[in-house]
Structure 1
Amino acid sequence: DMVLTDEERRKLDTGSDTSFYLFPRMVQHVDDSFLAQLTELYRTRIRPHSDVIDLCSAFDSHLPAEKDLPLNSVVGHGMNEEELRANPRFSRYYVRDQNEDPRIDLPDGSVDAVIMCVSIQYMARPEELFQEIFRVLRPGGVVIISFSNRMFYSKAIAKWRELTDDGRAALVSDYFRNVKGFTEPEVIRTVPLPGDPPRALGSIAQQVCDTCATPFTSPWSRD
């Protein structure tokens, strides 16, 4: 089934994504508060010694330090080889335009966690991508898609550009629901940090809007 119409997939910049990401950008695209909460979310939701793939990544996966979250492997995917090569957490990486070819370069059922940070807004073929995510995920695994209100506006799909933050969370949830076998997505807006008093979350200016989903633990859920 299709979640988006052809018009909703359109971008203002119709040029090559490969050309757009040709030069490395060694910068963070969201603020420190967002990243601290995202790292804590990874720490609490990804099991130690997992196999992980980081989609649409760059020089920093925002995963906890190895001592805080030891992992068996981390496969990186992105659009710029120099950025990927600079990421110290990757066991290996590959470069691919997911809008040209939504396939994920992994065998079936080979990872315990799929993460994607602030890139879902650029995905023009999300239905195929989420089928691929489900294919490579082991039963009981977790998917964490994080995003904010920041973006390369000309490269975001039309549907994303027209939605509010709540609407974007609903859209990503629909991407999950479109694939038979995922559990109901969970939308997380703030993540308590160790040592923070509960009331401190009310002062966070940058909203975190993470959507998580897991496949059913029974292998029979994969129809």
Structure 2
Amino acid sequence: MTFNETYFRRYDETDDGEFYQSPRLVVHIDEPAIAATTALFREKLPKDGAILDLMSSWRSHLPTDVTYERVAGLGMNAVELKKNPQLTDYTVQNLNQNPILPYADGEFGGCVVTVSVQYLTNPVAVFREVARVLKPGAPFITVFSNRMFPTKAVAVWQALDDAGHAQLVETYYQETGLFTDIHTEDRSPNRRQSDPLFATIGFSRGTLS
């Protein structure tokens, strides 16, 4: 699939670093959706593995009673990342300027992106990098809802509904050629009383030579 460059335009094309300069110590989904996210991570992530929390913030929503080997965070705001009690280490990096992840091949046993995929302007490049830094067979989980900062979410995301979002994110995985068993799960706790919640999951093949 060829993406039209207009798909990834945003209302606010100023430097993302300016937008994220001030810490936002708030959650972006409600408590039932957070609980559903935590339950998903408990189910899908290796409990003794090294986890990459990509596009991270001050909360990772990982289960607090699981001790992971490592939880590395990569995000846009140092204050937010420093306040995250589950991170063992963190990196400040703008993936829209530089999609190359500062990690070695096969360094992680799992990766999550939580309610942030709508802000990526070059998602396939980022997903390709995720496959590289994951061990073969490791899960990559992209969690999304209908919340967003509308000035920074890409145009294609804003034009789609929940089903369209799922198809779009699955396409990001497929375009890399580096993931298997790509599918989306509806993890919404209660559609009438809380935020909808979906997770697209794929398993890394490792980097193809």
CA distance in 2, matches of 1:21, 1:37: 26
TM-score by length of 1: 0.89
Instruction: Please say if residues 182 and 215 of structure 1, whose CA atoms lie closer than 8 Å, have aligned partners that are also in contact.
Output: yes
Instruction: Please say if residues 51 and 111 of structure 1, whose CA atoms lie closer than 8 Å, have aligned partners that are also in contact.
Output: yes
Structure 2, unpaired ranges of 5+: none
Other structure's SS at 2:181 match: coil
Structure 1, unpaired ranges of 5+: 193-200
Q: Percent identity?
A: 34
Other structure's SS at 1:139 match: coil
TM-score by length of 2: 0.95
Deviations 1:180-214 (A, max 9, x none): 2311312111267xxxxxxxx57554211111111
Q: Please give the root-mean-square deviation of Cα atoms over the aligned residues, in Å.
A: 1.6
How many angstroms does 1:93 deviate by?
0.3
**Partner residue in 2 for 1:209:** 198
CA distance in 1, matches of 2:33, 2:160: 20
**Partner residue in 1 for 2:24:** 25
Please give the residue correspondences for 1:77-116 in structure 2 after superposition, counting only pairs within 5 Å: 77-116=74-113
Please give the residue correspondences for 1:119-198 in structure 2 after superposition, counting only pairs within 5 Å: 119-190=116-187
Instruction: Please say if residues 53 and 114 of structure 1, whose CA atoms lie closer than 8 Å, have aligned partners that are also in contact.
Output: yes
CA distance in 2, matches of 1:204, 1:23: 31
Query: Over alpha carbons, which structure has the higher Rg?
Result: 1
Deviations 1:109-159 (A, max 9, x none): 100111011110000001110110110010110011011111000101111
Other structure's SS at 1:170 match: helix
**Partner residue in 2 for 1:47:** 46
**Partner residue in 2 for 1:56:** 55
Other structure's SS at 2:137 match: strand
Other structure's SS at 1:22 match: coil
- Cα 1:3–1:111 change in 2 (3 A) is farther
Other structure's SS at 2:113 match: strand
CA distance in 1, matches of 2:51, 2:97: 23
